Amino acid sequence: MDAQLKRILVGVDDSEDALMAFDYAINLALKDNAELVIVSVLENDEMNVFQALDKDYVHGERDALEKHILDFKQQAQTKGVKNVQAIVAEGDPGETIVREVIPAVQPDLLVIGARAKQGVFGSQAAYMAKNAPVSVTVVR
């Protein structure tokens, strides 16, 4: 498969694997002059019931994630990617990316890390690789 990619979706958190996936996606975007869409997922199930009911807490967590993903966007632009978008979604990372983000973004390729910051992304990576309607590259 040597087809040129037009849009690449990369899932990020602060895990080492996700950061490697991010760098890999930047290099692909530069090589093909592709659009890079960066997504991070606010995992509601990691919050305890009191945090989930506290709208200020949830809003604060989302604000922090939105600011953080803009740092990723800036890094990609600094490295030369011309067309970069950043998205924050909410829910289970694997399901949210497969069922909501991919249909909305319509990428040619999904790039994800093998393991997440919380240690559960590995199963998420397997879920996305199995269920995504596009090609998936898992980086480790």
* Ordered structural domains, the chain, with CATH: 7-139 (3.40.50.620)
* pLDDT range class, residue 11, cuts 50, 70, 90: very high
- DSSP SS3 for 15: coil
**Confidence band, pLDDT 50/70/90 cuts, at residue 3:** confident
**Of 3-7, 41-45, 107-111, the least confident:** 41-45
Give per-residue pLDDT as tens, 82-118. Answer: 999 999 998 888 999 999 999 999 999 999 998 765 5
Ordered DSSP codes for 31-87: HHT-EEEEEEEE-GGGS-HHHHH-HHHHHHHHHHHHHHHHHHHHHHHHTT-SSEEEE
Mapped onto helix, strand or coil, the DSSP state of residue 125 is: helix
- CA-based nearest residue to 85, from 99, 98, 74: 74
Q: How far is CA 28 from CA 8, 64, 89, 119, in A?
A: 8, 28, 23, 26
Between residues 55 and 104, the one the model is more confident about: 104
- Enumerate long-range contacts of 69-74, CB under 8 Å, 24 or more apart: 69/12, 69/38, 69/40, 72/12, 72/22, 72/38, 72/40, 73/38
pTM, rounded to two decimals: 0.86
Q: How far is it, in rounded angstroms, from Cα 11 to Cα 111? A: 7
